[in-house]
Amino acid sequence: MQPLSQSARKKEMPISPFAVCSFHPIMTSPFPFRSPLAAVLLFATVGCMAADTPVAAPPPLPSGPTIPATQKGNGYDWMARHEGILKLKDVLNPDLVFIGDSITHFWGGGQPGDHAYRYGEPVLKSLLGKHRVLNLGFGSDRTQHVLWRLQQGELDRLNPAWVVINIGTNNTSDSKDPAAIMSGIQAVSAEVRQRVPKARIILMAIFPREEKPEAPRRKVIDALNRRIESYAAEQRLVYLDIGKHFLDAEGRIIRDLMPDFVHPREQGYRFWAEALLPIIEQTAATP
């Protein structure tokens, strides 16, 4: 009896290890058999052998700056934070919303899923205390994660005066293409505008990252910020860049302000709030 050739096997058909032995129609086989019983026995054996093959892992879902996606969270439960915010947001009725990643998450604010690191919370209370602030910062988020959250209702039925968007730094861990990352930032901005059309949007420049100015990621962020500034002007958004506050005269990140060269400490949030206040309060005072 001729052995079953390797090319005759169905390589791409994952079979459960719990599958029962399968029988195949004799007429579809290219192999000569002396009796129908021999064919049945052979194909039953092949089916049983394949049934012991481990199941192939499903291919990963498509991911990219503009494709909404979830994540697990880093040091907190991402989905639990999202679900908690859905319950809180309408009660809070915020006039000021922050959207972003861990840098925004670390503003704190006493909301569901607050991170253990809340470097900005003293500033939030002292300088922004008169505002009803909704913190939609989620650690480790990329633009695609923000898109998913917004499309799942985090801004629905709200009417904030201001929305501050600071997203994109984590995308630089996945891509070195400023245009691709910018497409995600544009998608987030468009989603915000669609869902809270009366809100004014402040689009933050990406904070400097990596200690030295010659670091490759710094080059990507610099190019990305030029695109953000241009896009904000085209869309009549407010562009705000506070990156210089984190740098010394040589362009290196000041360790006391940003010890891990990514996340500001309290003074960094003070710089941020002090830059925001003239914008949001001057507008509020305008008849």
In a domain, 72, yes or no: no
Same domain, 45 and 159: no
Count of the separate structural domains present in the chain: 2
Q: Contact at 8 Å (CB) between 81 and 145?
A: no
Per-residue pLDDT of the chain (287 residues; tens, 9 = 90+): 444 444 444 433 343 333 333 333 433 344 444 444 444 333 344 343 333 444 444 444 567 999 999 999 999 999 999 999 999 999 999 999 999 999 999 999 999 999 889 999 999 999 999 999 999 999 999 999 999 999 999 999 999 999 999 999 999 999 999 999 999 999 999 999 999 999 999 999 999 999 999 999 999 999 999 999 999 999 999 999 999 999 999 999 999 999 999 999 999 999 999 999 999 997 654 43
Same domain, 103 and 235: yes
154 closest CA partner among 80, 85, 99: 85
Report pLDDT for 116. Answer: 86
Same domain, 43 and 172: no
Same domain, 157 and 117: yes
Query: What single-letter DSSP state applies at residue 139?
Result: T
Q: Contact at 8 Å (CB) between 158 and 94?
A: yes
CA distance 203 to 153: 21
CA distance 98 to 77: 19
Report pLDDT for 285. Answer: 46
Same domain, 84 and 171: yes
CATH number of the domain bearing residue 170: 3.40.50.1110
Same domain, 112 and 177: yes
In a domain, 97, yes or no: yes
Report pLDDT for 62. Answer: 60
Same domain, 130 and 219: yes
Question: What count of other Cβ atoms lies within 10 Å of the Cβ of residue 79?
Answer: 12
User: Which amino acid appears at position 169 of this protein?
Assistant: T
Domain membership of residue 215 as a residue range: 78-285
Report pLDDT for 63. Answer: 78
Same domain, 131 and 244: yes
Report pLDDT for 274. Answer: 98
CA distance 232 to 272: 18
Same domain, 47 and 84: no
CA distance 228 to 203: 8
Same domain, 102 and 42: no
In a domain, 57, yes or no: no
CA distance 163 to 189: 10
In a domain, 67, yes or no: no
In a domain, 46, yes or no: yes
Q: Contact at 8 Å (CB) between 189 and 237?
A: yes
In a domain, 3, yes or no: no
In a domain, 82, yes or no: yes
Same domain, 210 and 263: yes
Sign of CA dihedral 169, 65, 157, 110: negative
* Stated pTM of the model: 0.79
In a domain, 71, yes or no: no
Same domain, 90 and 47: no
